[in-house]
Amino acid sequence: MMDLIETERILKLAIKNSENLKCEGEVASYIPELANVDQDNFGVSLTTTEGETVSLGDDKFKISIQSISKVIDLIMALEDVGAEKVFSKVGTEPTEYKFNSLIPIEEKVVNPFLNAGAITTSSLISGSDVINKFNRVMKKVSELSNGDEVTFLEEVYKSEMRTTDRNRSIAYYLKSIGIIEGNAEEILDLYVRGCSIGLNVRQLSTIGAVLANGGRSLDNKVQLVEKEVVKTTLALMATCGMYEESGKYLIEVGFPSKSGVGGAILGIIPGKCGVCTYSPRLDESGNSIRGKKVLAEISKTLDLNIFI
C-alpha cells in the first residue's frame, strides 16, 4: 500500500525541483498540430494497483499519446496473433537509432517501439477494415483506462497524415520485403490513428496501473491483458521504450517506460503503480525533458527503481 499523502508531497517536490527545466527543449513540430499546445503545460498522475490516483497540475488536458500507442499496438498484436508470429517479424533488441530511422529495418524490424516496429504490429491487429480495427484499439484503451471517455484527436491525425511521408515510406518498404501484408496505406492509417488518441495523465496512469497489476483490472475482477503479454510488453518497455536513450534512462529511472512526442511519459512499476508525466518540450531523442527529471526524482524518493 502506498501512502497517498506522502506520495502527493513527493510529487509536489519533484514538480518544484524540475521548474528550472520548464523552458528547456522544443515541442515536436514535424507534426504541425503538436506545436499548437501550451508549451509550459505540465501534469503528473500516479495510480496505485489498488486504484487510488494522485494527480497534480493539468490532469484534464487530452495529450496526443503518439508513441505510447505503440504499447497498445504491441499488446493487441500479441493477443491477436501470438508472440511467435509477432517476433518472426519484429525483433526484441534495443537500438541506438532514432525512432523513425530507416537503418535498423534492413531485413527485420529491430523492435516494436520504433515506428517501423509499430507499423508492423499495427498490421497484425485483427479486424475487418481500418475503422473496425481502430474501434477495437479504442475499446481496449477505454477498458484499460477504466472506461473513461477516450478522445480521438482528429486535427492531430489529419496533421500527421499530411506530413507523414517518412512513415509512408517505411510502410511501403516493409510491404516490399514482405514484413507487412495487406494495404500499406491502410496500415499506415491505423498506426497514425493510434498516435492521435487523446488521453489525460490520469487515464494514462490508470493504464499503467493495470499493467503494473499484471493486466488485471484494478478491482481485480477482469484479466484485461493476458499475463504473458504484460510480461513481454514491460520487458520491451524497459529495454526499448525511450528510444536511443533507453539504457541511460533505465539506469537513471529504473522502471519500464514509454514516451511519445506529444510530451507524455508512461511509467510502470510492477506490483505498485502506474505513473504518467506530461510536459511537451522534448530533447533530441523525442523524450520529455521535464518528465524525465520528475520520474527520476520520484523513482528515488518513492523507492520505485525495480533493480534496487
Task: Return the residue of 187, 286, 290, 291 that touches ligand GLN, per CB under 6 A.
Answer: 286
**Contacts with ligand GLN in 176-195 (CB under 6 A)?**
195
Nine cell digits for residue 187: 496500415
What span, in angstroms and rounded, lies between the C-alpha atoms of 296 and 10? Answer: 12
- The catalytic residues are 67, 70, 191, 243, 261
Identify whether the C-beta of residue 192 lies closer than 8 Å to the C-beta of residue 161.
yes
Task: Return the residue of 7, 47, 53, 67 that touches ligand GLN, per CB under 6 A.
Answer: 67
Residues 95-114, one symbol each (x = binds ligand GLN by CB under 6 A, - = not), give: ----xx--------------
Is 173 known as a binding-site position? no
Residues ≥6 apart with Cβ < 8 Å to 124? 76, 77, 80, 81, 85, 86, 89
Buried b (16+ CB within 10 A) or exposed e, 90-102: bbbebbeebbbbe
Is 249 known as a binding-site position? no
Using Cβ positions, the residue closest to ligand GLN within the complex turns out to be: 67
> Coil, strand or helix: which one is 293?
helix
Count, residues near ligand GLN per rule CB under 6 A:
11
Residues ≥6 apart with Cβ < 8 Å to 232? 74, 78, 83
Task: Return the residue of 33, 79, 160, 189 that touches ligand GLN, per CB under 6 A.
Answer: 160
Is 146 known as a binding-site position? no
Least spacing, CB of residue 129 vs ligand GLN, in Å: 21
Q: Which of 127, 100, 108, 135 is nearest to 182 (CA)?
A: 127
Is 100 known as a binding-site position? no
What span, in angstroms and rounded, lies between the C-alpha atoms of 105 and 152? Answer: 29
Q: Which C-beta is closer to ligand GLN: that of 11 or that of 253?
A: 253
Least spacing, CB of residue 34 vs ligand GLN, in Å: 9
Is 115 known as a binding-site position? yes
Extract the annotated binding site: 67, 115, 160, 167, 191, 243, 261
Residues of the shown chain interacting with ligand GLN in the complex, contacts defined by CB under 6 A = 66-67, 99-100, 115, 160, 167, 195, 260-261, 286
